[in-house]
C-alpha cells in the first residue's frame, strides 16, 4: 500500500481517525477513537494476567465478535475491539493510554488479523531484520542498546509483530525510542540524557530514551525482511563462559515462540490459536530461531555483539549459496 498523508504508521499499520476513514478497510488499517464512556463487558473474564500491582483482563463486548481489554496498571482504562476499530477509554492520571496502545493495546487487534506478536525487540543488523526475544528484565533492552551504540538500527522496542506478505516474513518500524533502567542507560548515553528522558511510569525509574525520528528508517510503512529470531538466555552469577549461539530444533523453536507471546494465552479464548500455530509452523520453515547464551555483565557485551554480527553474516552467506 502506498503511504497516505493521513494517519500515523506503527508496526506496518496505518492508524486512522474519525476524519479520514477509508472504505473498504485494508488489512493494514485500523481506526482509533476515544470515548469518555466506560465500556461494559458481557459475562465473566475470558482471560487475565496479573503481576505485582498490574492486571490485564479480557472480556466479551456488547457488540458481536467484540472484545474489551481492561487495564489496571500504572495507567487505567480499556480498549474495545470491533472489526477495524479500536476504541480507547482512559481514566485521568497515571500513565497515558499511548504507552499501552503501542504494546498490548495494538497487539490484541493484530492477533485478530492473523499477525502474531512476540515479546521481542527488532533491529537492523548489517542490513538484516533481526528479532531479540526475551521476558522482561532479562537483558533484552541492555543488549539492544549495546547494538545501537555500535551503529545498528532499532526498528521497534518490546513488540515484534510477524507480518507475512506474499510469503515473506517482514518486520516494520515501531516507535523510535527504547526503554532503559538507569544502570543500563548510563552505559550507552550521558547521565544528563537519562535524567532528561521521561519516565515510562511515574513511580518507576525506567526511562524512555528518544532516538530522534518518528521512524528510524524515515518511512514507517516500509518493511525489512526478517532474517532470524534470537531468544536470549542470559546467565547470571559467576559464570563467564564464552557466549554461544545454537539453532533450536523446530519443536524447541515452536515452544519458545509460544512462551514469548506478547498476549500470553489469550489467543486460545479469542479463537485464533489454530491459525497462530499455522503461522508459526510456516515461519519456522523460512526463519531460523536461535538461542543466544551469554554471561551477564556489561563487560561481556562486546563479545556478544560481535558473535551476533558474525552469525548473521554467516546466515546471509548460507542463503546466497
Domain ranges of the chain: 8-112, 117-176+211-320
pLDDT in tens, 213-244: 544 445 667 889 999 999 999 987 666 778 99
Q: What is the pLDDT of residue 214?
A: 42
8 A C-beta contact, residue 1 and residue 26: yes
Q: Which of 255, 243, 258, 319 is nearest to 287 (CA)?
A: 319
C-alpha to C-alpha distance for 195 and 153, rounded to whole angstroms: 23
Angle (CA) 237-242-247 rounded to 5° is 105
Please give the pLDDT value at position 252. Answer: 97
Q: Provide CATH code, domain 117-176+211-320.
A: 3.90.228.20
Q: Please give the grid coordinates belonging to residue 311.
A: 552469525
* Distance from C-alpha of 77 to C-alpha of 113, rounded to nearest angstrom: 23
Q: In 3D, which of 310, 321, 265 has the Cα closest to residue 126?
A: 310
Cα dist. 96→101, 298, 318 in Å?
A: 9, 32, 46
Residue with cell 480507547: 88
pLDDT for 204 equals 81
Percentage of residues in the chain with pLDDT exceeding 90? 62
β-strand pairing of 85-90 with 153-156 = unpaired
Please give the pLDDT value at position 195.
82
Cβ-based neighbour number of residue 154 at 10 Å: 21
Does pTM top 0.85 for this prediction?
yes
Cell matching residue 10: 506503527
Please list the ranges in the chain whose pLDDT falls under 50. Answer: 1-6, 214-217, 321
Q: Which cell is 300 given?
A: 561481556
- Residue 2's pLDDT is 39
Separation CA 105–CA 312 (nearest Å): 32
**C-alpha pair distances (Å), 203 with each of 132, 196, 206, 207, 310:** 27, 16, 9, 11, 40
Q: What is the pLDDT of residues 260-274, one digit of tens each?
A: 999 999 999 999 999
> At which residue does the C-alpha cell 551477564 appear?
296
Task: Locate all alpha helices (DSSP H) within the chain, ordered by sequence.
Answer: 97-100, 106-112, 140-149, 182-188, 191-196, 250-259, 266-269, 273-284, 301-320
- Yes or no: say if 173 and 198 are a contact pair by the CB < 8 Å rule: no
Distance CA 58, CA 270 (A): 9
Amino acid at each position: 500500500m502506498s503511504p497516505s498523508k493521513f494517519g500515523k504508521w506503527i508496526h506496518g499499520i496505518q492508524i486512522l481517525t474519525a476524519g479520514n476513514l477509508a472504505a473498504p478497510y485494508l488489512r493494514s488499517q485500523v481506526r482509533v477513537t476515544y470515548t469518555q464512556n466506560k465500556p461494559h463487558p458481557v459475562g465473566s473474564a475470558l482471560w487475565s494476567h496479573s503481576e505485582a500491582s498490574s492486571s490485564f483482563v479480557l472480556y466479551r463486548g456488547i457488540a458481536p465478535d467484540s472484545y474489551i481489554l481492561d487495564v489496571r496498571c500504572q495507567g487505567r482504562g480499556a480498549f474495545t475491539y470491533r472489526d477495524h476499530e479500536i476504541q480507547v477509554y482512559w481514566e485521568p492520571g497515571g500513565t497515558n493510554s499511548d504507552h499501552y496502545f503501542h504494546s498490548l493495546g495494538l497487539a490484541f487487534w493484530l492477533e485478530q488479523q492473523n499477525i502474531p506478536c512476540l515479546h521481542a525487540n527488532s533491529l537492523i543488523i548489517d542490513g538484516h531484520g533481526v528479532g531479540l526475544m526475551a521476558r522482561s528484565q532479562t537483558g533484552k533492552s541492555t543488549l539492544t542498546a549495546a547494538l545501537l551504540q555500535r551503529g545498528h538500527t532499532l526498528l521497534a522496542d518490546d513488540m515484534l509483530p510477524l507480518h507475512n506478505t506474499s510469503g515473506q516474513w517482514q518486520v516494520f518500524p515501531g516507535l523510535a525510542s527504547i526503554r532503559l533502567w538507569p544502570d543500563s542507560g548510563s552505559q550507552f548515553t550521558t547521565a544528563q540524557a537519562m535524567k532528561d528522558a521521561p519516565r515510562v511510569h511515574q513511580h518507576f525509574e525506567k526511562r524512555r530514551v528518544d532516538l530522534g525520528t518518528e521512524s528510524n528508517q524515515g518511512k514507517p510503512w516500509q518493511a525489512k525482511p526478517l532474517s532470524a529470531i534470537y531468544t536470549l538466555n542470559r546467565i547470571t552469577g559467576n559464570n563467564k563462559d564464552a557466549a554461544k549461539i545454537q539453532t533450536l530444533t523446530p519443536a524447541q523453536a515452536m515452544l519458545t515462540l509460544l512462551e514469548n507471546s506478547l498476549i500470553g494465552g489469550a489467543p486460545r479464548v479469542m479463537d485464533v490459536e489454530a491459525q497462530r500455530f499455522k503461522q508459526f509452523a510456516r515461519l519456522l520453515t523460512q526463519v531460523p530461531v536461535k538461542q543466544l547464551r551469554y554471561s551477564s555483565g556489561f563487560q561481556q557485551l562486546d563479545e556478544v555483539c560481535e558473535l551476533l554480527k558474525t552469525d548473521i553474516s554467516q546466515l546471509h552467506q548460507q542463503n546466497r549459496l
